[in-house]
Structure 1
Amino acid sequence: MTTQPQLPRSVAPPRLQRAAMLDRVEERLRGFLDEEHRLRRTSDARGAGLIESLAELVAAGGDRARPLIFLTGYLAAGGDPDRGEAVDAAAALELLDTCTLIRTDVRDNAALRRGIPTLHVSRAAEHERSGWAGESRRFGESTATLAGDLALAYAERLAARLPAEAWRIWDELRTERAIGSYAHEAMAAEYLEDPWPGRCISGCDRGCTAGWYALRHPLRLGAALAGRADLDASYDAYARPLHAAWRLRGFLDGGPEYAWDAQLLREILLEPEERDIAERMIHELVERSCRTATNSALAAGWHEELATFAARVASHDG
């Protein structure tokens, strides 16, 4: 007879466990970047300036979505909340996110990120104020891209202690993120991008930037680090319908990834009856995720937390 794996008893409610670990992630990010800046500022003042800009962007906050989802998967799998590798992996995910945001801001020529000037804008302004040689815009974009490279290098360093199976998923995650981002940009450039998330609803496929990178991979990484390979299929089954519900909610409510074309499509297609059908579809997708969580062998209290998390992700203000 097959026995379920023995899970450690929770010493605190799930959200408090996760919040405590997120606090440690913040401390790790701050301490890591402060130490890098300290080591550079006497020997390479210009290099220290790049680290300072990166640290400022990280310190500006954000939702820390990938660390939160990773820690959810890790703790729900019975992972040790005191384990340093889990904190480092969460910090690595945040730096990988930071790299992606910097490059997205350059590509979109965004002016602000997290309430402060984007890195390429601030560096271009510094170039212009200083009267340096060359074109300010190109200097800002190139130095911002280098800051993204630096964030990626730091992420790799923090992830270096991951055990073999967790590293395999980390490697898959970062690869799929790059390929998925390219596919998204190529489809938009070719006028092939469809704002209606039909592919997500029918089953998100390989290379889907949002589904694989935002939810599925961080959860699986958490399970792998906790030594729970048996949860890989469960986390996959939990993440896919939840991702679809989130994308559908974004389409209905006009999330940040849905521009004028999505608004036009909503106005053309979504009469009250169709909107009601879409709302029911979101409800059914969330219910499917919740059933998967209920039937999975998770640590005490985490069945309910994953169900609550699924409802929050797909809510109007999620």
Structure 2
Amino acid sequence: MTSDISTGTAQEAVALRADLLRRVEDRLRSLLDAERGRWAGVHEGTVVPIDALSELIASGGKRIRPAFCVTGYLAAGGDPGHPGIVAAGAALEMLHLSALVHDDVLDDSGTRRGLPTVHTTYTRLHAGRGWQGEARRYGEGVALLVGDLALVYSDELMAQAPSPALPEWHRLRSEVMIGQYMDVHAAAEFCADARTSRLIARIKSGRYTIHRPLVVGASAAGRGDLAAAFEEYGEAVGEAFQLRDDLLDAFGDTAATGKPTGLDFTQHKMTLLLGWAMQRDEHIHTLITEPGHTPGEVRRRLLDTGVPRDVERHIDGLVERGRKAIADAPLDEVWRTELADMARRVAYRTS
């Protein structure tokens, strides 16, 4: 499974990864095209959930999870010609699609990547056509099934990956579901608890975005010995990634993020940002839970606490921790440098 392809120039390394990511993209599209062809002759309605997934793929996305997976694989000396790593990268992106569609229902989000979310699209379709039943329940039901279909496809894809990657894949999938539950519960309870907030950030987002995909890739290349270094790196950079998301939700521009801002406020998400702020200013809890508050009021109150500035400093420290974790890892220097650069890019959302 391994080769000496991990050595070379930075340009060669980036080109190898770019080629693998193009193949991941092709694999996603070819899977959905084949599924559509298989079902189209059965009944015209059967292709609706498949088309919904195809539209999500076509809408863009950063492909962060496949990128970390193939980076871990190549850094571990994996053979870039092996089709199994392409399947693994596609599986991670398909799992992410499942999580996005379900997340949008849980968060009652109206847009994703600048377009109406799945449940919003089908709620409007139901209402516009005057169908029987409740439009909202129909839209959310369709979205849940579309997300479940993506989950099914993700498992089919991962079954084609090298078998050493499977234990990490199983941990990743159960972890993100438990993290989602903890997120929902913390929003209902809405108590300032930094320990719980950090746990949610790690298991719902950070590990499944960075840590686990890296280890899936390394395991696929037969380098289980890299798991410890990738865990330390991934835990730090993954938390930085989630904290950046929290800041973008609070202070970002919808035109840039492609989704509504202020959802963490309206959905009472107990992020580390809000948890720290509520510890400094008890009025923030009341402000968010009272009907009629505006995101602008919450933002001003958050800024007054100084917490956003402290979160930025915490992100800086996490990025540095991640870079140190990878500095002495048994990897070619090219890949240590690339992983250090990736830490900065995901934490600060630079291209």
TM score, norm. by length of structure 1: 0.86
What does residue 270 of structure 1 align with?
306
Measured on the aligned residues, the alpha-carbon RMSD in Å equals 2.8
2:221 alignment counterpart: 226
The residue type paired with residue 216 of structure 1 is H
1:244 aligns with 2:233: no
Aligned length: 307
C-alpha distance in 2 between matches for 1:279 and 1:117 = 31
Change (3 A) 1:243 1:74: same
Q: What is the rounded CA distance, in whole Å, between the counterparts of 2:145 and 2:349 in structure 1? A: 37
Aligned to 1:104: 103
1:211 paired residue number = 206
Q: State whether residues 99 and 147 of structure 1, in contact with CA within 8 Å, keep that contact through their aligned partners in structure 2.
A: yes
Which letter does structure 2 place at the counterpart of 1:124? Answer: T
2:311 is the alignment partner of 1:312: no
Aligned match of 1:301: 334
Deviation at 1:165, TM superposition (A): 2.7
- Cα distance between partner residues in 2 of 1:82 and 1:237: 29
Q: Given the superposition, is the C-alpha separation of residues 224 and 9 from structure 1 closer, same or farther in structure 2, using an over 3 Å criterion? A: closer
Is the CA contact (8 Å cut-off) linking 2:319 and 2:343 kept in structure 1?
A: yes
Identity %: 38
Q: Which amino acid is 1:308 matched to?
A: D
Alpha-carbon distance change, 206 to 171 in structure 1, aligned in 2, over 3 angstroms: farther
For residue 167 of structure 1, report the CA deviation from its aligned partner: 0.6
Instruction: For 2:105, give the aligned amino acid.
Output: V
- SS of the equivalent of 2:87 reads helix
- Give the Cα–Cα distance (whole angstroms) in 2 for the partners of residues 105 and 302 of structure 1: 35
The equivalent residue for 2:16 is 17
Against the structure 1 CA distance between its residues 136 and 300, is the aligned structure 2 distance closer, same or farther, given a 3 Å change threshold? same
| Cα displacement string for residues 179-227 of structure 1 (whole angstroms, at most 9, x for unaligned residues) | 0110111011111355x68964xxx589721222121111111110010
| Aligned-partner Cα distance in 1 for 2:187–2:338 | 36
Name the structure 2 match of 1:8: 5
Report the CA distance between 1:264 and its aligned residue: 6.1
Q: Which residue of 2 aligns with 1:150?
A: 149
For each residue in 1:216-256, what CA deviation from the matched residue of structure 2 results, as whole angstroms up to 9, or x when unmatched? Answer: 11111111001001100110111122233334545566466
Alpha-carbon shift at residue 15 of structure 1 (Å): 1.6
Give how far 1:16 is off: 1.4
Read off the aligned partner of 1:132 and give its amino acid letter: W
Q: Equivalences for 1:1-318 in 2 at 5 Å? A: 7-10=4-7, 13-192=12-191, 194=193, 200=198, 208-250=203-245, 254=250, 259-260=264-265, 261=274, 263=299, 266-270=302-306, 275=309, 281-299=314-332, 301-315=334-348, 317=350
Question: In the alignment, residue 29 of structure 2 is paired with which amino acid?
Answer: R
Distance 1:67 1:316 in 2: 17
Partner SS state of residue 79, structure 2: coil
- Structure 1 position 162, deviation (Å): 2.9
Distance in 1 separating the partners of 2:240 and 2:115: 31
Give the unaligned 5+ runs of structure 1: none
TM (norm. structure 2) is: 0.78
